[in-house]
Structure 1
Amino acid sequence: MSAEERRESVIRAAISEFARGGYEGTSTEAIARRVGVSQPYLFRLFPGKRAIFLAAATRCLEETARVFADAAKNAPPGGIPAAMGAAYSDMIERDREKLLMQMQMYVAVASAEAAGDHEFGQPIREGWLELRDTIHLALGADEKVSSRFLSEGMLINTLLALGFPAGHRVWGGFDDEGC
């Protein structure tokens, strides 16, 4: 395997490990073990845990933005919000780790900010803004529509992360297309 292929494997493994354990609860040893490399080799690919987390977070945001962009591009006229919602629902149904990684990103940035580290979150904020802009443009650059879509998405993320099953009363306000 080339170094680039190994690097890709590390990013995928990091998404899985960080999704489950968060930034603080995930060791680089666990990531190296999942990939099948030594920690010294892992640190030849990435300078440290922070760089691995940021690469995983960036990848997760990029892939999520791509899901929304593809859904919007292939949506029937007037059906972009429903197509994007359905595509996102499909993504998190197929790959729950991406949802959990998103939630872990928010916790990691908030924790770093609380500790006075204002640089840690900058690449994640930039990636999130790109995701937001992808959604915003696909929805016709309407601030209210974009804000509502993102708000409902965050509520869906929260309810899923908390483990509320389909059919629970907390889902009552959503259309079938929204979840």
Structure 2
Amino acid sequence: MVRMSAEERRISVVHAAMSEFAQGGYKGTSTEAIARRVGVSQPYLFRLFPNKQAMFIAAAEYCLAATREVFSKAAQGVPAEEKLEAMAAAYQQLIRDDPDKLLMQMQTYAAVAAAEAGGDHEFGATLRDGWQQMWDSVHLDLGAEVEETTTFFAYGMLVNTLVSLGFPPGHRNWEGFYQSARPE
């Protein structure tokens, strides 16, 4: 049996945490469930991460970085006028292939909003920074005006909402989207 390094184990915990938090949210996910998914003890989790919040932040940062990478790869080598559709199509592929990333995004927004409402402004700061990096990266990749980047993210949030709510392909709420942004 090959033993994982601490860094490999940490990465496996981040992936497991993302899946667990995506399904159960911050409050509804136990560190026990994460440990069970990875196949380690809870005390071992806390050698890798100081607390549940740190696990959540690491999972959310991973999710945001992975989404940012999908957008960047989709824009590479594509003519300027085709970047928007290429990035939209790549995002649709991401949420089809790995729906936990979409759910983790939505859980991140909910967890930050709840923390802010409870007076914990530090929790959201790191995650806002990660989201800002994604916005900046997309803005640069698109080579767009601010309004175009804002429109791209506005459509993206609508996609997130419609997919999260389970609106099927062909539903009238999808009619105003570019063809590449409609689910198949």
Structure 2 length-normalised TM: 0.95
Question: What is the CA-CA distance between 1:175 and the residue it aligns to?
Answer: 2.0
- Fraction of identical pairs, as percent: 60
Match of 1:121 among 116, 119, 124: 124
How large is the Cα RMSD of the aligned pairs?
0.8
Question: What is the CA-CA distance between 1:75 and the residue it aligns to?
Answer: 1.9
Within a 5 Å distance, the mapping from 1:1-12 to structure 2 comes to 1-12=4-15
Q: Which consecutive unaligned segments of at least 5 residues does structure 2 have?
A: none
Q: Does 1:82 align with 2:110?
A: no
Partner of 2:111: 108
Question: What is the CA-CA distance between 1:161 and the residue it aligns to?
Answer: 0.3
Partner Cα distance (2:11, 2:148) in 1: 35
Structure 1 length-normalised TM: 0.98
Show CA shifts across 1:38-71 (max 9, x none). 0000100000100000000000000100000111
Contact 2:80 2:142 in 1 (8 A): no
Partner Cα distance (1:89, 1:75) in 2: 17
Q: Which consecutive unaligned segments of at least 5 residues does structure 1 have?
A: none
Partner of 1:29: 32
Q: Helix, strand or coil for the counterpart of 2:163? A: helix
Match of 1:52 among 48, 55, 58: 55
Partner Cα distance (1:115, 1:98) in 2: 25
Q: Does 1:97 align with 2:111?
A: no
Partner Cα distance (2:6, 2:19) in 1: 20
Q: Does 1:140 align with 2:139?
A: no
Corresponding letter in the other structure for 1:87: A
Q: Which moved more, 1:45-54 or 1:166-175?
A: 166-175
Q: Helix, strand or coil for the counterpart of 1:116? A: coil
Partner Cα distance (1:77, 1:38) in 2: 49
Corresponding letter in the other structure for 2:147: K
